A and B are shown apart, each in its own frame.
Chain A
Amino acid sequence: AQSVTQPDIHITVSEGASLELRCNYSYGATPYLFWYVQSPGQGLQLLLKYFSGDTLVQGIKGFEAEFKRSQSSFNLRKPSVHWSDAAEYFCAVVGQAGTALIFGKGTTLSVSS
């Protein structure tokens, strides 16, 4: 069965600095990968997804993620963080068709001024 690991529970980044959130997955074939964000008091929102093709995918709010098969990773990046990016970020994976989306435990991002 597929699984996903987010090694960092909490990260603090200065406003304007770059950001990278780590995600590692476990699945025998090429999975479908997602990043979701949950802002305080709000529901989960899809940032971006990878199914196939170009391994660098662009999402909303200036985020991007790169799929690296050799490292079983799908790290989320943003070149310049804004205070409004403070939230909890979840990486998720789906394996074979018809199975459910499995989430990591999340990384909480704090932005300092």
Chain B
Amino acid sequence: GAGVSQSPSNKVTEKGKDVELRCDPISGHTALYWYRQSLGQGLEFLIYFQGNSAPDKSGLPSDRFSAERTGGSVSTLTIQRTQQEDSAVYLCASSLSPATNEKLFFGSGTQLSVL
């Protein structure tokens, strides 16, 4: 596609429910990143994929968070038993290769609100 696409753009859920956030990277981009942006917290790194594997998942805040990537393309971030503190904008980014050499292209994000 022309850019990184994320869906849904907005998600409102009740505390305790599970949510799935989707990211479609730019075609041909092998590296994919998930970040979380909260007010005053900047961009918090969650997980990074190279192809279908995740060399760095150190940023996932708890075992309620998981992510997968299939076919070296689409990625899904799943949050189980959502809590109010999970409310944030979840950003996905992709790049041709790991970030040392290539700039990241960001999606518009998913605004998650947990009531």
Q: Which residues of A contact B (CB under 8 A)?
A: 6, 9, 32, 34, 43-44, 46, 49, 51, 90, 94, 97-106
Which secondary structure characterizes the binding site on chain A?
A: loop
Q: Is B45 an interface residue (CB 8 A)?
A: yes
Determine which of A97, A100, A105 lies in contact with B40 in the assembled complex, contact meaning CB atoms within 8 Å: A105
Return the CB mask of B79-95 against A: 1 if under 8 Å, else 0.
Answer: 00000000000010100
A98 to B48, CA, bound (A): 9
Contact A106 B91 (CB under 8 A): no
Interface contact A100-B99, CB-CB below 8 Å: yes
Residues of A within 8 A of B103 (CB): 34, 46, 49
Among A34, A99, A104, the residue within 8 A (CB) of B56 is A99
Instruction: Tell me the complex Cα distance, A46–B103, Å.
Output: 7
| Extra 8 A-B pairs, beta carbons < 8 Å, given A6-B42, A43-B107, A94-B100 | A32-B100, A44-B93, A51-B101, A97-B100, A100-B56, A100-B99, A103-B35, A106-B43
Given contacts A98-B55, A99-B56, A100-B48, whether A105 and B42 have CB atoms under 8 Å apart is yes
Contacting pair B40 A32 (CB below 8 A):
no
Chain B residues with CB under 8 Å of A94's CB are 98-100
**Given A32-B99, A103-B35, are A46 and B104 neighbors across the interface (CB < 8 Å)?**
yes
- In the complex, the chain B residue whose C-beta lies closest to that of A93 is B99
Q: In the docked arrangement, what's the CA distance between A50 and B115, Å?
A: 42
Cα distance, A94 to B102, chains bound together (Å)? 11
Most interface-central of A43, A97, A100, A103 (chain B CB within 10 A): A100
